[in-house]
Structure 1
Amino acid sequence: MDGVDRARRDRDLEGRARNARPRDGLGRPLPYGEPGVERQPEGVVRTPEQTLADAQRLLDAGKPFHAHEVFEDAWKSGPEEERELWRGLAQLAVGLTHAARGNTTGGARLLLRGADRIAEFQDPYGIDVTGLAAWARELTSRVEEPVDAAAEAPRLRLRQNLG
């Protein structure tokens, strides 16, 4: 690949994508020069609580692609025994992303894969594993057209007992 192709395709010297292209709220690439949604910085190490808070904020705002990136950071930087949890949560977020983009078949597959992946965990950090799995399966059963990502956003944590 010559330098012109690399620059046009936004690649580093080794040919890897740099992902500098602006994106919309669902992570779809926009033309260069268009205003996009601010990307989540990559490689951020957060506490589990901060990961869940940041991801929930993004999900509630209809930005599941960006929530997926937050979960991906946790999956890559967290303890080995929790990687499948964070990976499954990332799959749920990207499944919602695909369902919102109109890729209902791919979205359903990812939602189910994420639900299966988190099922072995017993509500770590107050994560509502049972509720999330039920949400993913229910959404999968009815998604036939693009969905509103914000309206379909799941609650990640168990409701706190306010009494």
Structure 2
Amino acid sequence: MEGKPGLRDRDVRGRARNARPRDALGRPLGYGETGVDPLPVDLVVPPVEALAWAQHLIESGRPFQAHEVLEAVWKVAPDGQRELWRGLAQFAVGLTHLARGNDVGAAALFRRSADHLVPYAAAPPHGVNAAGLSRWAAMLADEIERAAANDRSQMAAVGASVILAVSDGCVDPGVRDGRRAAFQEARVGCGLAAG
């Protein structure tokens, strides 16, 4: 695939693909600029690994790439889990919009995420804290809608610390800086501590 200004980039099958490099938030850069390494288009990753990888990407300030990882699982998930993965991917897109300064888009994606996650609250697959993350997404949407434009940077910092996956002993998503007393830090207790 070769990208040329004015022409549509296509892969070997003739499908439209954007060959332009992207920044950490998925925004296209100019041809020849250096962006972040793209994820493979045909990415296949097991669910538990996808959760850990997505969490790492979120913590690294790359929620757009986290969404791509979660979306890869969503595409191949069994019917009974597809909406869970859709909700997780939408949460990551919400973080992306928040980091880009698109508060309206962020709030809308967090609400959609919450709606998709809530049905999994009672019996979440793969240790995903669907109940806690659904509440957290709804709370973020509420706060974004109330926040003034100058609060956006604080919201992005809070949102980027969300914990996607949980295991034994973990109840709610956490916030690393402790600004939300209702949500405890869960990284170590969930086995997600950075290596």
* TM-score interval (norm. to shorter): 0.7 to 0.9
Deviations 1:138-159 (A, max 9, x none): 2112224444756522101225
TM-score by length of 1: 0.85
* Alpha-carbon contact 1:64-1:149 (below 8 Å) kept: no
Cα distance in 2 for residues equivalent to 1:114 and 1:73: 16
* Alpha-carbon contact 1:62-1:151 (below 8 Å) kept: no
Distance 1:119 1:8, change over 3 A: same
Moved over 3 A (4+): 11-16, 144-151, 159-162
Q: Which has the higher helix share?
A: 1
Specify the alignment match of 1:132 in structure 2. Answer: 133
Aligned residue among 152, 155, 160 for 2:163 = 155
| Structure 1 alignment gaps of length 5 or more | none
Deviations 1:86-113 (A, max 9, x none): 1111111101111111111111111100
Specify the alignment match of 2:33 in structure 1. Answer: 34
* Alpha-carbon contact 2:52-2:165 (below 8 Å) kept: no
Asked if residue 91 in structure 1 is aligned to residue 99 in structure 2, the reply is no
Superposed, 1:1-150 pairs within 5 Å as 8-12=7-11, 16-121=15-120, 122-143=123-144, 144=147, 145=149, 146-147=152-153, 149=156
Cα distance in 2 for residues equivalent to 1:119 and 1:41: 30
Distance 1:40 1:151, change over 3 A: farther
TM-score by length of 2: 0.72
Q: Which amino acid aligns with 1:113?
A: R
Cα distance in 2 for residues equivalent to 1:155 and 1:103: 22
User: Larger relative CO (CA 8 A, sep 6+): 1 or 2?
Assistant: 1
Q: Which amino acid aligns with 2:19?
A: A
Q: How far is the alpha carbon of 1:83 from its aligned partner? A: 0.8
Figure out how many residues of one structure are paired with residues of the other and give that number.
159
Two-structure CA RMSD over aligned residues (Å): 2.4
